[in-house]
Amino acid sequence: MTDKQKRRTFLKAAGSTGVLGLTALAGCSDDGGDDGDGGDGGDGGDMTEGGDTTEGGATTGEMGGMDTITLGGSMSLSGDNADLGQLYADAYELTIQRINDQGGVEGGDGNTYELEMELRDDETDASASQSIYQELIDREGVDYLLGPYSSTVTLPASAVAANNERPMVEGGGASPDIFSQDNEWIFGLLPTADKYSLSYFDMLSGKDSPPESVAILAEDDTFSQSTAEGARQRLDEMDMELVVDRTFPSDTSDLSTNLGRVRDEGADALLLCAHQQHNIILANQMESQDVNVDAAMGTVGSLNDSFRNEVGDNANYIYGPTSWDINADFSDPVFGGTQNFVDAINENYELSPDYHSAAGEAVIVTFKQAFENVDELDPTAVRDQIRGAEFSTVYGTVAFDDRGVIDKNMLIRQWQPDSELTTVYPSEVATADPIYPMPDWSER
């Protein structure tokens, strides 16, 4: 097992035992880089021995003579969303390590900085996340915030950023509500949730025998409800009838009743607006309930290796949306290009990155480019620089609109039996045609 794999195991263990302090020390001095150090959150995870906190979130200490900038936040590192939260944590850690290994950040103020990260487990709990951010600001002097995972957590966390006038960059919250609060301190790297299903229906409408009827099953959370509303609006513009429209509690572990409705109504296409744990339930219970549709898509967590590992061949033919294609090759100031990042994730964590990983890398690069282009390291100056910037990352071009949202449309990928996970829409980036209609369970 490599040192990085050991480190990832440690991070997962820290999250699963409820430890709130999670520190990623990258490129630090020899006595600060031990994998086991810095994980205890009892004292807020002090990241530099004997360091003195200075303005701008910079700490001067035993860090090879460099000042440091701490990026801090909360993340889902245990519980149902831990697999996705870990993708962000891995991307953050790897990007920070690479930046520090390359000599740090050449600040626009003439100083060179190493980056540190303090990332704590919020267990996808909004109240816990709010407390973490407030403590990071009040006790740890953190000025630059890494957003959490899930819209339900990100919306209240972004209010902490606004109330304390600290910039927050996030790649894990997509609800339009996050960006409708006149909050000048939040920046999001995902398309808003109401866009997540649009490309799916656009793809299906272009088939020779497009679906005539659609079923929507939506988790009762901020993101999923926004996704479902976007889907309803698109269906109103199309010649497709919505025959099932059901909401289920986030804590449910059984979708059989709702899937029975889908089967009994004879829906041609199915959209699940939910997170990974419910995509796993869907893939398994579609088989047990003998639900045969021409197309089925889950909005979040249906494209991950961990999803495939959980459901096996039941993943075949299922679609998922993504804001990034693993086969892209954008230029990047840290890794050089997208494929170098993909290779680094594979090498260090033995998994294939998805759009959560790429968005996580872009979160760190967003702060890096801001630090490099401000005359003075200050939260307001950094915020203003981010708002007007445009730059390239492994995730593609990053530029934010007046709300603080990146402008991206979703691609569609499908698990295909012979070629595994394949981009199938739009045609200009597709590597194969979608397999449509998907075969009935009795024919597999």
- Read off the pLDDT of residues 272-296 as tens digits, 9 standing for 90 and up: 999 999 999 999 999 999 999 999 9
154: Cβ–Cβ under 8 A, 6 or more apart, which residues? 147, 148, 170, 172, 173, 175, 178
DSSP character at residue 30: G
Contact 385, 373 (CB under 8 A): yes
CA dist 331 → 188, 356, 362, 393 (Å): 20, 18, 12, 6
Q: Confidence band (pLDDT; 50, 70, 90) for 297?
A: very high
Quote the CA–CA distance of 416 and 428 in Å, as a whole number: 19
Residue spans per domain, the chain: 3-191+326-399, 195-322+410-443
Q: What is the greatest pairwise CA distance in the chain?
A: 68
Topology (CATH) of 195-322+410-443: Rossmann fold (3.40.50)
Contact 304, 330 (CB under 8 A): no
> Above pLDDT 90, what percent of the chain?
81
- Name the region of 244 (left: φ>0; alpha: ψ -120 to 50; beta: rest): beta
Label the pairing between strands 58-60 and 112-121. unpaired
pLDDT at 80: 84
pLDDT at 20: 30
DSSP string for 231-242: HHHHHHTTT-EE
Whose tokens are 């209240």? That residue is 156
pLDDT at 97: 97
Q: Which two tokens stand for residue 436?
A: 């449509």
Quote the CA–CA distance of 152 and 149 in Å, as a whole number: 8
Omega cis (within 30) before 434: no
Q: Which two tokens stand for residue 251?
A: 């804590």
CA dist 211 → 165, 291, 318, 350, 422 (Å): 48, 15, 15, 38, 21
Q: Confidence band (pLDDT; 50, 70, 90) for 64?
A: low
Q: What is the pLDDT of residues 251-271, one digit of tens each?
A: 999 999 999 999 999 999 999
Whose tokens are 């459901």? That residue is 311
pLDDT at 57 over 90: no
Quote the CA–CA distance of 206 and 223 in Å, as a whole number: 27
pLDDT at 65: 67
The pTM of this model reads 0.81
pLDDT at 34 over 60: no
Q: Does domain 3-191+326-399 have CATH number 3.40.50.2300?
A: yes
DSSP string for 170-191: ESS---GGGGSS--TTEEE-S-
Which of 422, 403, 415, 424 has its CA nearest to residue 194?
403
Q: Which helix (H) or strand (E) holds 166?
A: none
Q: What is the pLDDT of residues 307-341, one digit of tens each?
A: 999 999 999 999 999 999 998 999 999 999 999 99
DSSP string for 63-128: STT-EEEEEEEEE--SSTTHHHHHHHHHHHHHHHHHHHHTT-EE-TTS-EEEEEEEEEE-TT-HHH
Q: Confidence band (pLDDT; 50, 70, 90) for 147?
A: very high
pLDDT at 13 over 90: no
Do 3-191+326-399 and 195-322+410-443 come out as alike in CATH topology? yes
> Above pLDDT 70, what percent of the chain?
85
Round the average pLDDT of the chain to a whole number and report it. Answer: 87
Q: Does residue 145 sit in helix, strand or coil?
A: strand
Per-residue pLDDT averaged across 387-409, rounded? 95
Please list, residue by residue across 85-112, b when 16 or more beta carbons sit within 10 angstroms of its beta carbon and e when fewer do: bbbbbbbbbbbbbbbbeeebbebbbebe
